[in-house]
Amino acid sequence: MNTNELLQELSLKVAAGEIKREDVMRRIGISSTAPQQYEYKEMPEKAHLSLTKILYVLGASIAILGIIFFVAQVWDDIDSWGRILVTLGLGLLIAGSGSSFLTSKPESHLGQVFHAIAGFLIPGGALVTLNELGAPTGSLWPITITIGIVFLFYLLLTTYHKNEVLTFFAIANGTAFLYLLVESIVEGPFYRHDDIYAYLTMIVGLSYLLFAYAFRIGWNKNLVSVLNFFGAAGFLSAAFSRVFESDMWELLFFLLAIGGMVLAVYIKSRGILVVSTFFLIGHFVYITNEYFADSIGWPISLVVLGFVIIGLGYTSIAINKKYISSDATAI
């Protein structure tokens, strides 16, 4: 067991209550009532780590742009195998380097950076390979299967390395695979099956929320805020699209948006609170326009709507301050 795995295991046991934090600190010779100067020593290190992560993200972004520009410049001058090598081949090479760093130097976070770069190259490279090998273009099934293989690749990687960056790409490719699979099965353009995709998006949104809840403790905990935000946004946006189709959904959506705010308080999530408040305001605007736009009472309804929005804004801020921001575990 390397240092990173040992620390992860120890963190899980402390979070689960199997080991007391004070006992760990006492065992390694640190008092739980350490003098104030110990805390001051930690602050520059945290600032340094934050700067390091910013530089990692900036460097990875520049590297991805550089690769894209390079491939675009040489694309017409290379054959099919060359195109496969500069996309999929390069992505797999960078992913291999990332796995090597995750194993040998997990504390440096270089493995995460390399896998983040590879995560954008490998799916595109897989599709380039599919095209260059002459896959049939009349069906979505080849693309669906290809993205499914990429999903399995990242699922195996994150199971082995236990890393949140790999989990992110596993979820992203898994989501793409799910939509492509449904599209391949129904065999029709999106607009003919919008109801299917609406309910599918609700299921995906709920799945993200469940993943976020499951990831609260463990090596994927840094994904919780992202999954909560996109889970709530996906679910409520898909539910809102049903409002235009049914009077029942007009009432139901109010309950869903308010339920989102209640859920935000329960699990201490700012992202869900913001998304739920936004969609609740949007629904008020829609109802006002739908039923009062052509009546003499519309200006009055706009005044009322304005005060309702102000009230919702004040309520969301108050909820955030009282129930979320005041909690150290808020996400």
Angle at which helices 164-186 and 194-214 cross, to 10°? 160
**How much is the pLDDT for 43?**
35
Structure tokens, 51:
């700067």
Distance CA 140, CA 146 (A): 10
Region label for 247, one of left (φ > 0), alpha (ψ between -120 and 50) or beta (otherwise): alpha
Cα→Cα distances 88→117, 118, 120, 128, 129, Å: 12, 9, 10, 8, 7
Task: Give residue limits of the domains in the chain.
Answer: 1-30, 50-187, 228-331
Q: How does pLDDT run across 120-171, given as a tens digit for each residue? A: 999 999 999 999 998 887 789 999 999 999 999 999 999 999 999 999 999 9
| Residue type (1 letter), 67 | I
Q: pLDDT grade, residue 320 (50/70/90)?
A: confident
Alpha helices in 187-331 (DSSP H): 194-214, 224-243, 247-267, 270-292, 298-319
- Residue 241 amino acid letter: S
Predicted local distance difference test score (pLDDT) of residue 45: 39
**Chain centroid to CA 122: how far?**
19
Contact indicator for 145, 94 with CB cutoff of 8 Å: no
Taking only the tens place, the pLDDT of each residue in 67-79 is 999 999 999 999 9
Q: Are 97 and 90 spatial neighbours (Cβ–Cβ below 8 Å)?
A: no
Going by C-alpha positions, the residue among 154, 156, 200, 202 that lies closest to residue 181 is 200
Furthest C-alpha separation in the chain? 75
pLDDT at 248 over 80: yes
pLDDT, tens digit, 9 for 90 and up, residues 262-318: 999 999 999 999 999 999 999 988 888 887 766 656 677 777 778 888 888 888 888
